[in-house]
Amino acid sequence: MSGNGKNYDSIMKILLIGDSGVGKSCLLVRFVEDKFSPSFITTIGIDFKIKTVDINGKKVKLQLWDTAGQERFRTITTAYYRGAMGIILVYDVTDERTFTNIKQWFKTVNDHANDDAQLLLVGNKSDMDTRLVTYEQGEALAKELGLPFVESSAKDDQNVNEIFFTLARLIQDKIDSNKLSDAKNTNDGNVNIKSSSSSMSKANCC
Amino acid sequence: MFKGNRLKGVSNPFKSSSSTSPATSPVLKSSESKLHNPFKSSPASRQDSTFKAVSQTFKSADSKLFDPRDIQINGVNGRIVCSAFDFSQSLLAVATDTGDIHVFGQKQTDVVFNFGSKIPISHLKFVKGIYLVAIDSKDSIMIISLYSKTLLTTVFPPSKITCVECDPSLDWIILGLQSGTIVIYDVDRDVMSDISIENLQKSYYFPKERLSPVISINWNPRDVGTLLISYGHVTVTYSLLDMEVVKDFIYKLPPYAPGGDASARDIDRERIPRVMQSLYHPNSLHILTVHEDNSLVFWDANTGKLIGARTLFDTDVNLPQNDAELMNFASDTSNITNVSWICQNNAEHTALIIATRSERDNTQGLTIIELGGTPLYSITSYDQMKKYYFNPKQQKISLLVDKSKLLKVMPIPKASPYFGGCHDPTFILLLFESGELETMLYPSASFTSKSSLFPPCLSWATPLVSNSMALSVPSKLWLGMMSAAAVKEGIVKGGSPAKKPMRTQTTRSALLTGHSNGSVRICDASSKELDDNAMFEINIGRILNRAYNISIGEMSLAPETLELAVASELGGEVVLFKFEVNKFYNDKNVTDNLNLKLSRFSINDINDTIIDVRDRAPHNVKQGFMPNCIVNAKQGTVTALKNSNIGFVGIAYSTGTVLLLDRRGPAVIYMENLRNISRIRSLQVTSIEFSIMEYGEDGYSSILMLCGTDVGELLIYKILPERNGRFCVEFIEATRTNNDSPIIKIEAFAKESGYSCEANILKMQELSKGIPIPGYVITTARNDVRLTKLGRSKVSHKTFKYPAVASSLMYIPGSSERKTLMPYFGVLLSNGGVKVYSIPDVREVKAMQLPTQIHSKYIRESSFLKNGDIYTRTNTFKSILLSVVNDATNVGSNPRDQTPDTLYNPNLKIPYRPQVNSLQWARGTVYCTPAQLDMILGGERRAESKYKESLIARGTLTLKPKGDKNGIEEPYKKPIRHTSPRTGAYGVFKNVSRTVETTWDSLETQMNDYATAMGQSMNDMMEETGKDIVKGSLGI
Query: What residues of chain B, 322 to 341, have a C-beta less than 8 Å from chain A?
Result: 322, 324-325, 328-329, 331-334
What's the rounded mean pLDDT across residues B156-184?
95
CB A28 within 8 A of CB A16: yes
User: HEC profile for B8-25?
Assistant: HCCCCCCCCCCCCHHHHH
Contacts of B948 (CB under 8 A, 6+ apart): B147, B148
- Among B306, B397, B441, B604, the strongest candidate for a mutation testing the A interface, having the largest count of A CBs within 10 A, is B397
For the cut 80, the answer to whether the pLDDT of residue A204 exceeds it is no
What's the rounded mean pLDDT across residues B969-991?
38
The domain locations on chain B are 918-1034
For the cut 70, the answer to whether the pLDDT of residue B922 exceeds it is no
CB B463 within 8 A of CB B438: yes
A19 in contact with chain B, both atoms CB, cutoff 8 A = yes
For the cut 50, the answer to whether the pLDDT of residue A197 exceeds it is no
> Are B399 and A11 a contacting pair at CB < 8 A?
no
> Are B319 and A5 a contacting pair at CB < 8 A?
yes
Rounded CA-CA distance B456/B471 in Å is 18
B358 in contact with chain A, both atoms CB, cutoff 8 A = yes
List, in sequence order, the alpha helices (H) in B501-586: 540-544
Nearest alpha-carbon partner for B432 in B408, B400, B411: B408
CB B384 within 8 A of CB B1010: no
Q: pLDDT class for A10, splitting at 50, 70, 90?
A: confident
Closest-CA residue of A relative to B391 is A50
The identity of residue B199, as a single letter, is N
Nearest alpha-carbon partner for B785 in B768, B800, B774: B800
Mean pLDDT across chain B: 83
CB B854 within 8 A of CB B830: yes
For the cut 80, the answer to whether the pLDDT of residue B549 exceeds it is yes
Q: What is the pLDDT of residues A17-41, one digit of tens each?
A: 999 999 999 999 999 999 998 888 8
Tell me how close the Cα of A47 comes to any Cα of chain B, in angstroms.
4
Strand partners, B35: B821
Among candidates A4, A63, A75 on the partner chain, residue whose Cβ is nearest the Cβ of B313: A63
- Residue B965: the pLDDT is 43
CB A126 within 8 A of CB A157: no
Rounded CA-CA distance B950/B154 in Å is 17
Which domains occur in chain A, in start order? 10-176 (3.40.50.300)
CA distances from B496 to B489, B493, B901 (A): 16, 9, 6
Quote the DSSP letter at residue A206: -
- Residue A121: the pLDDT is 97
What's the rounded mean pLDDT across residues B703-729?
94
The identity of residue A134, as a single letter, is T
Among candidates B331, B367, B545 on the partner chain, residue whose Cβ is nearest the Cβ of A13: B331
Rounded CA-CA distance B1026/B1030 in Å is 7
Residue A177's CB is within 10 A of a number of other CB atoms, namely 18
Query: What residues of chain A, 94 to 113, have a C-beta less than 8 Å from chain B?
Result: 95, 97-98
CB B94 within 8 A of CB B104: yes
CB B129 within 8 A of CB B949: no
Rounded (to 5) percent helix, strand, coil in chain A: 40, 25, 35
Longest dimension (CA), chain A: 57
Q: What is the pLDDT of residues B147-156, one digit of tens each?
A: 999 999 999 9
Backbone angles phi, psi at B460, to 5 degrees: -70, -15
Backbone angles phi, psi at B324, to 5 degrees: -55, -40
Q: What is the pTM of this model?
A: 0.85
Order across the sheet with B667-673: list the strands.
Answer: B638-643, B648-653, B657-662, B667-673
Nearest alpha-carbon partner for B410 in B131, B105, B87: B87
CB B708 within 8 A of CB B698: no
Rounded CA-CA distance B877/B100 in Å is 13
Rounded (to 5) percent helix, strand, coil in chain B: 20, 40, 40
List, in sequence order, the alpha helices (H) in B391-497: 475-484
Integer-rounded Cα Rg, in Å, for chain A is: 18
What DSSP element (H or E) covers B300?
A: strand B296-300
Nearest alpha-carbon partner for B552 in B463, B422, B685: B463
Most confident of B57-66, B160-169, B597-606: B160-169
What's the rounded mean pLDDT across residues B977-1003?
37
Backbone angles phi, psi at B69, to 5 degrees: -155, 160
- Residue B127: the pLDDT is 94
DSSP secondary structure of B25-86: HHHHHHHHHTB--TTTTSTTTTSHHHHHHHHHHHHHHHGGGEEEEEEEEEE-SS-EEEEEEE
Q: What is the pLDDT of residues A28-82, one digit of tens each?
A: 999 999 999 888 888 888 899 999 999 988 889 999 999 988 877 766 666 778 7
B616 in contact with chain A, both atoms CB, cutoff 8 A = no
Q: pLDDT class for B816, splitting at 50, 70, 90?
A: low
Q: B188: exposed, middle or buried (C-beta count within 10 Å: 0-12, 13-18, 19+)?
A: buried
Tell me how close the Cα of A159 comes to any Cα of chain B, in angstroms.
24
Rounded CA-CA distance B13/B647 in Å is 7
Chain A to chain B Cβ contacts (< 8 Å): 102
A57 in contact with chain B, both atoms CB, cutoff 8 A = no
Tell me how close the Cα of A73 comes to any Cα of chain B, in angstroms.
7
CB B513 within 8 A of CB B459: yes
- Residue B991: the pLDDT is 37
What DSSP element (H or E) covers B876?
A: none
- Residue B819: the pLDDT is 64
CB A96 within 8 A of CB A64: no
Closest-CA residue of B relative to A7 is B316
- Residue B485: the pLDDT is 81
Q: pLDDT class for B34, splitting at 50, 70, 90?
A: very low
Nearest alpha-carbon partner for B601 in B609, B610, B611, B591: B611
- Residue B53: the pLDDT is 38
Q: What is the pLDDT of residues B241-285, one digit of tens each?
A: 999 999 999 999 999 888 888 777 888 899 999 999 999 999 999
* Segment among B481-495, B552-566, B638-652, B916-930 with least mean pLDDT: B916-930
The identity of residue B280, as a single letter, is Y
* Complex ipTM value: 0.85
Q: pLDDT class for A200, splitting at 50, 70, 90?
A: very low
- What percent of chain A is predicted at pLDDT more than 90? 58
> Are A76 and B399 a contacting pair at CB < 8 A?
yes
Rounded CA-CA distance B274/B557 in Å is 56
Rounded CA-CA distance A3/B712 in Å is 82
Rounded CA-CA distance B725/B748 in Å is 27
The dihedral built from the CA positions of residue B687, B691, B693 and B697, taken in this order, carries a sign that is positive
Quote the DSSP letter at residue B528: G
Terminal Cα distance for chain A, rounded: 12
> Are A44 and B397 a contacting pair at CB < 8 A?
no
Cα torsion for A110, A114, A118, A120, to the nearest 10°?
-40
Rounded CA-CA distance A103/A124 in Å is 16
- Residue A86: the pLDDT is 95
Rounded CA-CA distance B232/B226 in Å is 20
CA angle B710, B863, B660 (to 5 degrees): 50
What DSSP element (H or E) covers B958?
A: none
Rounded CA-CA distance A123/A102 in Å is 10
CB B298 within 8 A of CB B385: yes
Closest-CA residue of B relative to A205 is B324
Integer-rounded Cα Rg, in Å, for chain B is: 34
Rounded CA-CA distance A35/A167 in Å is 21
DSSP secondary structure of B377-409: GGG--HHHHHHHHHS-SEEEEEEETT---EEEE
B444 in contact with chain A, both atoms CB, cutoff 8 A = yes
Q: What is the pLDDT of residues A124-181, one digit of tens each?
A: 999 999 999 999 999 999 999 999 999 999 999 999 999 999 999 999 998 888 877 7
Closest-CA residue of A relative to B397 is A46
DSSP secondary structure of B1007-1018: HHHHHTT--HHH
Rounded CA-CA distance B352/B943 in Å is 41
B546 in contact with chain A, both atoms CB, cutoff 8 A = yes
What DSSP element (H or E) covers B967?
A: none
What DSSP element (H or E) covers B991?
A: helix B984-999
